[in-house]
Structure 1
């Protein structure tokens, strides 16, 4: 009988030990799941705040900060690079007549059209207000192609906004990176070309480093508004 009691006691100890280990494993799994959920939530928060910092809240396109980051990275690779700047013509009238909410809807639709251009456009950006930019991975011909495509896409068909059909046109300037340029130089060159396109109403206008005035001579168009 004593042997039986000893056996039962030992067996009970084993069962208790197994139960304790099982409980510990369950607790550990709960901790791991909790930690995973916490990390996942943190990752989601980080991704959310990063998206807000690098994207326009009007169009959800990458913003100026994202553009500069992209340009700096591409410049460091030494690859052919072009930049297209787009300024919507008479956009202020849309806000004045239909209101800012309708204006934001229109900007969102313009951004959607530009974002679907495809290669050689590598990135469509909403800079601010009614200005957009396209980063082109390619040479002068590629930049010219992208600029013409953007100009045509924007005015291809009316926009349904505020129960109205609104027709838009845009002034487009483009430039390509040259040896010794920095990202800000490329931005300034494309901005000069866009200003000349706006002034001459000539559609898509290239930056001409030979005949165009040097940086600083032509006031940037955005500074005149």
Structure 2
């Protein structure tokens, strides 16, 4: 059966189009993978694999908009600088990675575990004040037990933990500040867990100064 010239042209054009699409699908797939890797790197900490401050702030912003009960837990490792100086930077990173793994495995009501900077971590927790306080104590226990193994040595570890419950309309910045202040108060009293309270005798830092700057003076 003889194929008409018009039909032959259509088949040839279709074949060329499919060939062109096949040729471009590879580069597009690689571009999408590269974009996904770049997005993941921008929102995750390289040492622990946890979401970073940017990802946590975005998650808090989304949660505020949903107007569901939630809060934040913030913790700072006690004596981390001494451990880092004694065992070295690489061992310090191993310790941070272990802490990140323990926090990531806490489970509900913890929605997200994040590393903010240095030896400072945070948890986004769903629920009311009781759930948030329970998550704070669970985080403290997870960090403290068992000791972290660095090489052949078991290193005891403790944390100062602060927690706060979100109020209607609070900004992510203020919520983080409340949790950080509670953590600073826990640090002042020798570690453990401390819930956010109304402003008391603790002197506010100068504008632009974080609480951790006061905890770790230069």
Candidates 100, 122, 130, aligned match of 2:89:
100
Based on CA coordinates, which of the two structures has the bigger radius of gyration? Answer: 1
Q: Which residue of 1 aligns with 2:150?
A: 161
Alpha-carbon spacing, 1:22–1:215, altered in 2? closer, same or farther (3 Å): farther
Determine if contact 1:87/1:131 at 8 Å carries over to the other structure: yes
Structure 2 residue runs of 5 or longer lacking an equivalent are: none
Q: Which residue of 2 aligns with 1:56?
A: 45
How many residues are paired up?
213
CA offset digits 1:96-122 (Å, max 9, x no partner): 011111111110110011001011100
Q: Which residue of 2 aligns with 1:123?
A: 112
- Give the TM-score of the pair, scaled to structure 2: 0.88
SS of the residue 1:14 aligns to: coil
Determine if contact 2:64/2:169 at 8 Å carries over to the other structure: no
Candidates 181, 184, 187, aligned match of 1:192:
181
Taking the aligned partners of 1:18 and 1:120, their CA distance within structure 2 comes to 64
Higher helix share: 1
Structure 1 residue runs of 5 or longer lacking an equivalent are: 1-10
The CA RMSD over aligned residues, in Å, is 2.3
Q: Which residue of 1 aligns with 2:128?
A: 139
Alpha-carbon spacing, 1:214–1:88, altered in 2? closer, same or farther (3 Å): closer
Q: Which residue of 1 aligns with 2:204?
A: 216
- Give the TM-score of the pair, scaled to structure 1: 0.85
SS of the residue 1:171 aligns to: strand
Determine if contact 1:121/1:134 at 8 Å carries over to the other structure: yes
CA offset digits 1:12-57 (Å, max 9, x no partner): x639988776665444333212222222111111111111111111
Determine if contact 2:51/2:113 at 8 Å carries over to the other structure: yes
Q: In the TM superposition, what is the alpha-carbon distance from 1:220 to its structure 2 partner?
A: 4.6
